[in-house]
Amino acid sequence: MIRPSPRKARPVHLLVAYAAGLVLAGCTPQTRPALPDWSGGMDTTDTSVIDTGGTVDTTVPTGPMALYAVTGTGIPSRIWQTGTTDPCELNIDGTVEGYQTMDCTLDIPELDLFGYGLDFDFTVPFGACDFVTYHHYMYEAWEVGTGPTDVSYDVDAVGNITNEVNSVNGVPACQYDYSRLNTDAPNCCVGNYTLSVTNTDSGVTRVVGPISWGGKPSTCYGGAAYIDPEATFTADGWPTGKIVFTNQTKYDKRFHWDELSTRFISNVPLANHYDPADHDGTMPAGLAGEAASPYYVFRCYDHAEELLGQIRLEVREWNEESEYYANGDPDTTGTEPVSGEPIDDRNDWATATPGSTDFIQDAQ
Amino acid sequence: MPRVLWMIVGVSALTATGCQSPDTSSMLSITYGSGEFAPPVEVDTNCDDGGCDGLEQLQATLNFDQQGFVSGTAQVEILQYKVEYGLYDLAADNQPPYYAGVTTVVVNINDSVDFNVRAAGSNQRDWIRARYGDRQLDGTATLTLAGYDQLNQVVQVSSDFDISFGDFVTDGATP
């Protein structure tokens, strides 16, 4: 039997390979330590920072993506993770794999919302997002619908109109065209119709069409997206979401809406919170609309629009200050013990459109 | 010494060298040329008067020079920078807030890369203007770059340059 020589090369190769392994694996940290936090010097309004590279971003976020209540205004609002008393802070890691989402609730007493307005702060940390997007809550105030396709009536030589179908006194009528009866209301009737008018004296029928019902759905919606002081709109009247190139820098923004009292009679335009128990176990009809956005939504994206983090916000108005501070019931009802005034002074979704079929229309 | 023992000693030396973190930061330096955006940098504190375009830019060069044993594939990736100010007429504890930004500058060993960064932003401009109006304030600023080397170690390098805040116009002349 031939024994292998202890001086053969194989053990040396193994040692070299082992040593090389030490050099390669043992000396290179698997993850990069955090860079110094210089986010305090980042100019969030300056998106012209020059980036000469093309390498994958590996920067570790320096804090949470978060929503915070504004302090120092005298308005006692708070923002917690929905259903908890934890702060609305989302600790994303800046990667697609690390995506997280969080629902948060801003609580505010009802007259503060109605008579003062709404404030909150949004922040994303340095090293988290290439882009930030946000859009605000909006609802279908007036039901949008497709009108009938046929309109017809008969008319005689002196102008008497009879046998009207989808017509009132010779004017085409669509149940979704609220402007027919209220000039301040929108026309939410979409689609086309064919108009057939028969002259009863001559027996001739004239057919015209298709004719548009003329509705403009964007005028049938309302909410924070519409009354945002910074709102911008598409050519056909829809509020646009905002996209901000943050370029991995820290981004801070304060959102503010003015008081509702000068324009509305309820808190619905800003308070999107609803309890399904008040709406047949589902959501109010206005929030189920095709273009409705039930939440204020804040998102963090990479360069290729992969979602890295998302926060959805509800604004909930409280009927009693004592309940607000006790974190009790936001929807108490009844009358105040001495004055006899109602405890629930301003409509929210629960009282504006209970159930799931009614639209708020001009009760906003 | 038997050959195997020599190899073990050699490997040990290699291991020791490889696992001691090379001081990459000491091999980095920042220099400034004489191009359009070379220092001194002028920061316009009144953008309504002549605009701020073209000002505030700082052109610099990052140099990565080999010192001692370093892998031939050594590389540094700079990801962020900050600028701190030392204006002559202001006390040390009354300087504009530092400016910071992100960038990506990759330089290989024994190579240099030119790059541009902003030397100041709206916070600094507003800070000066709120306190000193259109007055021109001269001084130095320190540019510090931070990033990683090929071993994923944090590296930093700093260098001073001349800077002036004032009511400049884009051609560099004061109005």
Same domain, A181 and A212: yes
Which pLDDT does position A300 carry in this prediction?
96
Superfamily of domain B23-166: Immunoglobulins (2.60.40.10)
- Give Cβ neighbours of residue A81 (< 8 Å, ≥ 6 apart): A87, A88, A102, A103, A104, A105
Last-in-domain residue among A161, A186, A216: A216
Considering the domain boundaries, does residue A8 fall inside one? Answer: no
Among the partner residues B11, B102, B123, nearest to A249 by beta-carbon distance: B102
Among the partner residues B113, B116, B122, nearest to A43 by beta-carbon distance: B122
Q: What is the pLDDT along chain A (364 residues), one digit of tens a residue?
A: 333 333 333 333 433 333 333 344 345 555 678 888 887 787 654 444 433 344 445 556 778 999 999 888 889 999 999 999 999 999 998 889 889 999 999 999 999 999 999 999 999 988 889 999 999 999 999 999 999 999 999 999 899 999 999 999 999 999 999 999 999 999 999 999 999 999 999 999 999 989 999 999 999 999 999 999 999 999 999 999 999 998 888 888 899 999 999 999 999 999 999 999 999 999 999 999 889 999 999 999 999 999 999 999 999 999 999 999 999 999 999 999 999 999 999 999 999 999 999 999 988 9
Structure tokens at A54: 């093309």
Among the partner residues A40, A49, A53, nearest to B118 by beta-carbon distance: A49
Which pLDDT does position B49 carry in this prediction?
55
> Which residue of chain B is at minimal alpha-carbon distance from A23?
B18
A101/A282 Cα distance (integer angstroms): 22
Structure tokens at A19: 């040593």
Structure tokens at B50: 């002549």
List CB contacts (< 8 A) between A59 and chain B. Answer: 79-80, 102
Which pLDDT does position A25 carry in this prediction?
39
Same domain, A100 and A191: no
Residue whose entry in the numeric block shows the structure tokens 């004592």: A322
Considering the domain boundaries, does residue A181 fall inside one? Answer: yes
Interface of B with A (CB under 8 A): 2-4, 7-8, 11-12, 14-15, 18-19, 21, 77, 79-83, 97-106, 113, 115-118, 121-123, 146-148, 150-154, 156
Last-in-domain residue among A188, A216, A244: A216
Positive/negative CA dihedral, A158, A162, A165, A166: positive
Which pLDDT does position B55 carry in this prediction?
59
DSSP count for chain B of H helices, then E strands: 2, 8
The neighbouring-strand residues paired with A314 are: A105
Of A192, A194, A190, A180, whose CA–CA distance to A152 is shortest?
Answer: A194
Under 8 Å between Cβ of B7 and B41: no
B142/B86 Cα distance (integer angstroms): 8
Structure tokens at B9: 């000693």
Q: Which domain holds residue A331?
A: 60-141+223-363
Q: What is the pLDDT along chain B (175 residues), one digit of tens a residue?
A: 444 433 333 333 333 344 455 689 999 999 997 777 788 888 888 776 555 655 578 889 999 998 776 777 788 999 999 999 999 999 998 999 999 888 888 899 999 998 888 899 878 888 888 888 888 999 999 999 999 888 888 999 999 999 999 887 654 444 3
Same domain, A203 and A227: no
Query: Alpha carbon of B10 to those of A228, B13, B68, B160: distances in Å?
Result: 70, 5, 18, 43
Number of domains into which chain A is organized: 2
Same domain, A126 and A227: yes
Considering the domain boundaries, does residue A99 fall inside one? Answer: yes
Which pLDDT does position A274 carry in this prediction?
95
Query: Alpha carbon of A113 to those of A80, A106, A261, A284, A317: distances in Å?
Result: 17, 11, 9, 20, 7
Same domain, A266 and A121: yes
Among the partner residues B19, B103, B146, nearest to A27 by beta-carbon distance: B19
Spans of all domains in chain B: 23-166
Same domain, A116 and A237: yes
Considering the domain boundaries, does residue A328 fall inside one? Answer: yes
List CB contacts (< 8 A) between B116 and chain A. Answer: 50, 52
Is the CB of residue A42 less than 8 Å away from at least one CB of chain B? yes
Same domain, A248 and A346: yes
For residue A164, the tally of other CB atoms under 10 A from its CB is: 17
A127/A134 Cα distance (integer angstroms): 18
Same domain, A242 and A200: no
Same domain, A211 and A69: no
Same domain, A242 and A205: no
List CB contacts (< 8 A) between B123 and chain A. Answer: 41, 43
Same domain, A257 and A343: yes
Which pLDDT does position B170 carry in this prediction?
52
Considering the domain boundaries, does residue A2 fall inside one? Answer: no
Same domain, A307 and A228: yes
